[in-house]
Amino acid sequence: MNNLNKHIEHTLLKQDAKHEDFIRLFDEAKKYNFLGVCINPMYVKFAKEYLKDSGIKIVTVVGFPLGANKTEVKTFETSKAVEDGADEIDMVINVTKLKDKDYKFVINDIKSVKQACKDKPLKVILETDLLNKEEIKKACQLCIEAKADFVKTSTGFVKNGVGAKEEDVKLMYETVSPYGLKVKASGGIRDKETAIKMLAAGAERLGTSSGVKIVS
């Protein structure tokens, strides 16, 4: 697969990342012509300025990493991110509400963020490490109903979590693709072999901090 770079969102979400780390991330994104960078909301404005005219998408996260913020907080965070220049939003689903089968809440949570995205694509992080297969499928169905644009596997922040798994990506793809939604695999994608497996399983996007290693 020759165009792996055009599936990669070069990611830096570490709590202890320094200014120079972001500069490196952005420079690498330009050098390898990655599809996008994925960063915390605080750095969106800076990324927009640094990467202007590069065609690289600025992706940011909302309700990250637990998804347990109130809906109003998620929507405010989304509005600010869009205002700052974010091209896409990755929100974390409320896992507790999903497990409690409070589906009305989950749908409203996603719909509210989608509305705040305006015309920007919304990806919903399911946190598959915390879900069984039925819950993954149900979460995908709720995302379809709420008119999200993507379902995404993981934050990469679950302790002892695996992150993206081939069978989960395949299940997500089979559930959402007939309705026009796409899949982003993220978490634990650290080499070319894994990246290709995820794309073969149905992922359209790859969220990884190992983008350079993968394309090299």
Active site positions, annotated: 90, 152, 184
User: What is the rounded distance in angstroms from the CA atom of residue 198 to the CA atom of residue 200?
Assistant: 5
Four-CA torsion 186, 6, 3, 166, nearest 10 degrees: 20
CA–centroid distance for 79 within its chain: 17
What is the sign of the dihedral through the CA atoms of 64, 187, 166 and 9? positive
| Region for residue 120 given its phi and psi (left: phi exceeds 0; alpha: psi -120 to 50; beta: otherwise) | beta
Residue 158's CB: how many other CB atoms inside 10 A? Answer: 16
Rounded to whole angstroms, what are the CA distances from 149 to 17, 49, 53, 130, 177? 29, 26, 25, 22, 10
Report whether 126 contacts 158 (CB < 8 A): no
